[in-house]
Amino acid sequence: MVNDPFRSDPPRDDRAPSDRQRGDKRGEALAETLSVLEGAGWPEAEVYAKTGRSRTFVVEGSRLISTVRREEGWAVRAGDPRRSFFYAATGTPRPDAPWPEADGEGLRLPSPRPVARWTAPADLDAPLVGENDALALIRGIGRALDTELPGARLIRAVLDDGASEAQLLSSRSMAARTRQRVAILRLEAGKQKLAARVHVEALAREARLLNPVALARRLADRLLVAERGETPVRDRGEILLAPPVAARLLAGLVPLWLGPSAAGQALGELHGRLGGKPLTLIDNGRLPGGLVEAPVDGEGVTARGVRLVAEGVAQQPLLAWWQTPRQPGLASGCSQRPSWRDLPRPGPTHFFLTPSPETSVADLVADLSRGYYLLDAEGEARINPGGDRFALPVCGFSIDRGHASGAVTGAELVGSIRALLRGILATARDLTFLPAAGGMVGAPTVLVRGLELVRRPS
């Protein structure tokens, strides 16, 4: 997945016939509604529809709660150079809807451009997880946790498994259809005589791809830290950031790379140096295997891979099509549309720090003579771009000559944003994504220098 982040392949429609038939009926309703809007004198008109289905399983002890949800909705944007309106409703698009008064700003919609070849992932067609498989996964994690750390137990598990499809038609001949599928598992665990509880989140295209043993080890490590951890008064040195920590920091920095006047570019000036060679940041809506992988964004504009920073040198920010009217080739294809209720807005797709395929996490740990290996973030990053500072609550282990020498809890990782970017010394190959900033933000394990661990404010 990570060796060729800009790969494209020939298109393929591998949906079930029933799905295609339902999509065709929605397409007819979209076309009829668009025709009515154009007939009413709106030169700029767009009709968008989205359907979704999901299953949720909540397991607490021997108790299982299972729910099924279905959602269908649609929206219209219509206007001219002087005014516009937005309308959204549940169900199928209706040409006779009561359109609201046009009291918004003037509207301009994107025109279609050639869409690069793309292969729809075959697992988009996989059925939602069933009750037996969900229980087997969660109970497997519980058994593995007991093996990894006797006395530990899984307290609660919530598995959300869902799929969605969106369609769009516009008066500028824009026509697009996208699909997504994702399973998210949230786990809570505890240990005998330990008041603290720990939480872990994992996601994959399908629930069957989640690894029970790996998740149990993450929970066991977190419980060991909670049980034995001590808080450093203040320390610095080389620090390893596990993917959940590095990705949480990157998520807080995403706004620095959004829009024509992105502050992230200002940190080193456009085409200026922000860091060393290990610092390469990419946003790619077509990332092969990515959980929001799609040929186009929420406005039908071609999604593509964009290097925001290449080997430490700033390249360009994330730009929606309307933010670069004179240079359409700079558009990133990054208009988010989380729901049919939402207007499009620029945001990340798969925003990530590139990994090093030849470097394992064990290599980085072994080379660490003295420092820290931070396993997880225990909250959101606090970012102050104007003051060039950040703080992130963390936990993990202290490292001495490549081995864990103690547990760390109640700490914050602090420093300047410039120091964080300049201080990236190496990355491992374990690229991992988490949902953040409306998209996916990913990072491998990262070795950094120039940051501090301090006692977390009470």
The predicted pLDDT at position 13 comes to 40
Structure confidence at residue 267 (pLDDT): 63
Do 242 and 323 fall within a single domain? yes
Q: Given a cut of 70, is residue 103 above it in pLDDT? A: yes
Q: Is residue 311 part of a domain?
A: yes
> Of 22 and 350, which is predicted with more confidence?
350
Domain's final residue, options 227, 244, 265: 227
Q: Which neighbouring-strand residues pair with 365?
A: none
Asked if residue 162 and residue 34 are part of one domain, the reply reads yes
Q: 408 pLDDT exceeds 90?
A: yes
Is residue 424 one of the residues assigned to a domain? yes
Alpha-carbon torsion 357, 363, 368, 371, what sign?
positive
Contact 434, 290 (CB under 8 A): no
- Calculate what percentage of the chain has a pLDDT beyond 90: 75
Q: Which residues contact 249 (CB under 8 A, 6 or more apart)?
A: 241, 377, 381, 390, 392, 413, 420, 443
Residue-range definition of the domain harbouring residue 124:
17-227
The tokens of 151 are what? Answer: 């006395």
The answer to whether the beta carbons of residues 140 and 159 sit under 8 Å apart is no
Q: What amino acid occupies position 373? A: Y
CB atoms within 10 A of CB 125: 14
Distances (CA, A) of 224 to 63, 150, 262, 407: 27, 11, 41, 8
**Is 130 within the bounds of a domain?**
yes
The band of 23, judged by pLDDT with boundaries at 50, 70 and 90, is low
Per-residue pLDDT at 20: 54
| Average of per-residue pLDDT across 152-175 | 96
Q: How many CB atoms lie within 10 A of CB 120?
A: 19
Judge if 200 and 235 occupy the same domain: no
Residue 408 lies in a domain: yes
- Quick one: average pLDDT of 128-146? 96
* Same-domain check for residues 91 and 54: yes
Mean pLDDT, range 128-148, rounded to an integer: 96
For residue 231, pLDDT over 80 is answered with: yes
Domain boundary among 227, 258, 293: 227
Whole-angstrom Cα distance, residue 261 to residue 279?
Answer: 21
Q: Is residue 6 part of a domain?
A: no
pLDDT at 135 over 60: yes
Q: In this structure, are 188 and 271 located in the same domain?
A: no
Please indicate, yes or no, whether residues 151 and 248 belong to a single structural domain of this protein: no
Is the pLDDT at 11 greater than 50? The verdict is no
pLDDT at 423: 96
Do residues 254 and 211 both lie within one domain?
no
CB burial of residue 153 (10 Å; 0-12, 13-18, 19+): middle
* 413-432 tens-digit pLDDT: 999 999 999 999 999 999 99
User: Could you tell me the sign of the dihedral formed by the alpha carbons of 255, 414, 243, 248, in that order?
Assistant: negative
Computed over every residue of the chain, the mean pLDDT equals 90
Structure tokens at 232: 């450093």
Tell me the CA distances in angstroms from 376 to 199, 201, 244, 370, 409, one per residue in order. 10, 11, 5, 19, 10
- Asked whether 225 and 395 are in contact (CB, 8 A), the reply is yes
Which residues contact residue 152 at a Cβ distance below 8 angstroms, ignoring those fewer than 6 apart? 145, 146, 189, 190, 191, 219, 220, 223
Q: Which residue has the tokens 């993990």?
A: 396
Give the pLDDT confidence of 359-407 residue by residue, as tens digits. 999 999 999 989 999 999 998 899 987 778 999 999 999 999 889 899 9
- Tens-digit pLDDT profile for residues 431-457: 999 999 889 999 999 999 999 999 998
- Are 271 and 284 found together in one domain? yes
Owner of token pair 């549940």: 90
Number of domains in the chain: 2
Q: What is the pLDDT of residues 185-215, one digit of tens each?
A: 999 999 988 888 999 999 999 999 999 999 9
DSSP per-residue codes, 336-377:
E-SSTTSPPEE--SEEEEPP-TT--HHHHHHT-SEEEEEEEE
Model pLDDT, residue 6: 36
Say what the pLDDT of residue 457 is.
85
**Residue whose entry in the numeric block shows the structure tokens 């009470």:** 458
Do 273 and 319 share a domain, yes or no? Answer: yes
- Rounded distance between C-alpha atoms, residue 360 and residue 402, angstroms: 14
C-alpha 196, offset from chain centre? 28
In a domain, 5, yes or no: no
11 in a structural domain = no
3-state secondary structure (DSSP) of residue 206: coil
- The predicted structure's pLDDT at residue 12: 37
**223 and 235, same structural domain?**
no
Last residue of a domain, one of 227, 256, 274: 227
Is residue 312 located within the same domain as residue 374? yes
Residue 263: the pLDDT is 63
User: Which residue type is seen at 81?
Assistant: P
pLDDT bucket at 14, cuts 50 / 70 / 90: very low
Same domain, 159 and 88: yes
Query: Residue 233: which region, alpha, beta or left (left: phi > 0; alpha: psi -120 to 50)?
Result: alpha
Residues 344-350 have a mean pLDDT of 94
pLDDT-based confidence at residue 19 (cuts at 50, 70, 90): low
Task: Look at residue 1 and tell me if it is in a domain.
Answer: no
Question: Nearest Cα to 412, choosing from 441, 382, 433, 432?
Answer: 382
pLDDT of residue 330: 80
CATH code of the domain covering residue 209: 3.30.2290.10
| Host H or E run for residue 35 | helix 17-39
